[in-house]
Structure 1
Amino acid sequence: MPQLPDVVLWSIPAFVLLTVLEMVSYRIHPDEDAAGYVAKDAATSITMGLGSLVFDLLWKIPIVAVYAAVYELTPLHLPVLWWTLPLMLLGQDFFYYWSHRGHHMIRLLWACHVVHHSSRNFNLSTALRQPWTTLTVWPFYVPLIACGVHPAALAFCSSVNLVYQFFVHTERVDKLPRPFEYVLNTPSHHRVHHASQGGYLDRNFGGILIVWDRLFGSFAPETERPVFGLTKNIGTYNPLRVATHEYAAIARDVAAAGTWRARFGHVLRGPGWQPVPAPAPVPVPAGGPTAPAAGEQAA
């Protein structure tokens, strides 16, 4: 298999340069409707990104072991050629869509992904706010490995997807021409994804392509200005709390639950799920049921 470049490593200078340019653009041309950059928030996002690099190295050990085992067992081995690599990118983007959607629909997975949505600002530094517990992502890509995609090729495709999404985290770019907006994930589409309004929640999960959302009914266009953050914001810049606050909330809910059904619900249902309270018992008069009056028949 040919050596594939480390796309993220080669993109770091561009990340730094473009983030600085965006900061400067807000100083020169402030936007009264956009917060731009808040120093503590941006610092937290950068810290989360650096921490994710460290933790991803740890998670990579068992994940690569599983992928390697699956790749050895499958009879399919796809070569990395000029025409197969775009197909691998397409396949990776398809499974990224389902991974991303799953991380919004299952609370245990959301506890990992919520980190990326925890900023109330939306700028290029927000793209760096990555979780430290990405061990929940790998199962979604096992089908690709089983179809013969080499684990290194999958890593390359995932890096390309990640780098592409850096550029859609901005309010400085308005809607693009219609053909791009129809096919690609754009800043406009991704602003919707990061919004906390009801009509925007759980929409636009695509990584590079937005066509998956159009096909599977999760697309929403940007109409009103998004309000970024969570439906219940955490109000902290502490990286450790940002990384773990939803896991702590799950633990509290599970500890307080009265039934195993509720406990499993708090872990495996959606982030906003709450058990339906049992109906209140009908009060019985102190003297017991009223006896029928004389001349009346009991029902």
Structure 2
Amino acid sequence: MPNLPDPVLWSIPAFVLLTVVELISFLVRPDEDEVGYATKDTATSLSMGLGSLLTNLGWKIPAFALYNLAYALTPLRIGVHWATVPLMLLAQDFCYYWSHRSNHRVRLLWAQHVVHHSSRHYNLSTALRQPWTDLSFGVFYLPLVLLGVSPAAVAFCSAVSLVYQFWIHTERIGRLPHPIELVFNTPSHHRVHHASQGGYLDRNFGGILIVWDRLFRSFTPETGKPVYGLTKNISTYNPLRVATHEYVSIGHDLASARGWRDRLGYLFRGPGWLPAEAESAPAAPALTTEAAA
């Protein structure tokens, strides 16, 4: 199998350059209808991105141990060449859709993913606001390995998806030609995903392709100006608090739970879930973009 490059590593200079260009564009041609940049928010996003490069190394260890075990057990093998890589990317994107959707529907997974939605700004630096934890341990991509895709190829496809999704975190690009909007995830589609209001909540989970959302009825077009962030925003720029605030909230809920059924609900139901006896009582909205499941 040929050595596969690291798309994220090779793309870092482009990430930096494009972010600077976008920032300058706001200075040269400001738009009152666009959120733009804020110094503290951007610094937090960059800190979260740099921190994730370090923390992800630890979280990848159990994932790759699982992948290597599965790869050793499966008799299937898919080689890496020009005909198979597009199919691998397609399969990875399908798995990513369900992983991403689950991150919004399971509170324990939302606790890691909420980091990416915690900014009230939407620009290229927001793409770098990445989680410092990964409690899914790569299980959503395990089917690829069982089908014969090597762990290295799975990592390569995941990195390609991450690089693709960088450019869609912008307000500077409007709607693209209809054929592109029909098939691919675009800035317009992803702005909806980062919005915190009404019918925009928990929509458009696709990575590279938007066709999965269209097929599985989670697609919503951009029809009005999005309001970015959470339904109840956090008031901190401290990277450690940004990375852990939902875990802290889960801890408080578990401490007040009346039994194991409630504890499991707080962990594995939707982020806005409450026990039946609590639903009838007034309560502050949860730190989430997910309606009660």
Fold-level match, TM-score > 0.5? yes
Question: Contact 1:22 / 1:124 at 8 angstroms: preserved in 2?
Answer: yes
Aligned: 1:61 with 2:61: yes
Gaps of 5+ in 2: 281-293
Q: How many residues align?
A: 280
Deviation at 1:35, TM superposition (A): 2.1
Change (3 A) 1:234 1:278: closer
Displacement, 1:248?
0.4
Write the distance in 2 (CA, Å) between the matches of 1:268 and 1:135.
12
**Following the alignment from structure 2 to structure 1, what is the Cα–Cα distance between the partners of residues 134 and 171?**
27
What residue is the counterpart of 2:276 in the other structure?
Answer: 276
Correspondence list, 1:176-191, <5 A = 176-191=176-191
Residue 62 of structure 2 contacts residue 137 of structure 2 at CA under 8 Å; is this kept in 1? no
Shift of 1:168: 0.2
* TM-fit CA distance, 1:260: 1.8
CA distance in 2, matches of 1:278, 1:52: 36
Structure 2 counterparts to residues 181-260 of structure 1, below 5 A: 181-260=181-260
Equivalent residue letter for 2:28: I
**Greater CA drift, 59-68 or 119-128:** 59-68
Q: Tell me what 1:294 maps to.
A: none
Alpha-carbon distance in structure 1 between the residues aligned to 2:35 and 2:100: 26
TM-score (norm 1): 0.92
Task: Verify the 8 A CA contact 1:36 1:121 in the aligned structure 2.
Answer: yes
Once the two structures are superposed, the pairs formed by residues 160-175 of structure 1 within 5 Å of their partners are 160-175=160-175
Partner of 1:293: none
Which residue number in structure 1 is paired with residue 142 of structure 2? 142
Aligned-partner residue type, residue 168 of structure 1: I
CA RMSD after TM alignment: 1.2
The corresponding residue for 1:154 is: 154
Matched-pair contact (CA < 8 Å) for 1:112–1:136: no
Q: Compute the displacement of 1:279 (Å).
A: 11
- Secondary structure in 2 matching 1:5: coil
Is it true that 1:264 corresponds to 2:264 in the alignment? Answer: yes
**Larger-Rg structure:** 1
Would the alpha carbon gap of residues 121 and 278 (structure 1) be closer, same or farther in structure 2, given more than 3 Å must change?
Answer: closer
**Superposed displacement of residue 114, structure 1:** 0.3
Structure 1, unmatched stretches of 5+, are 281-299
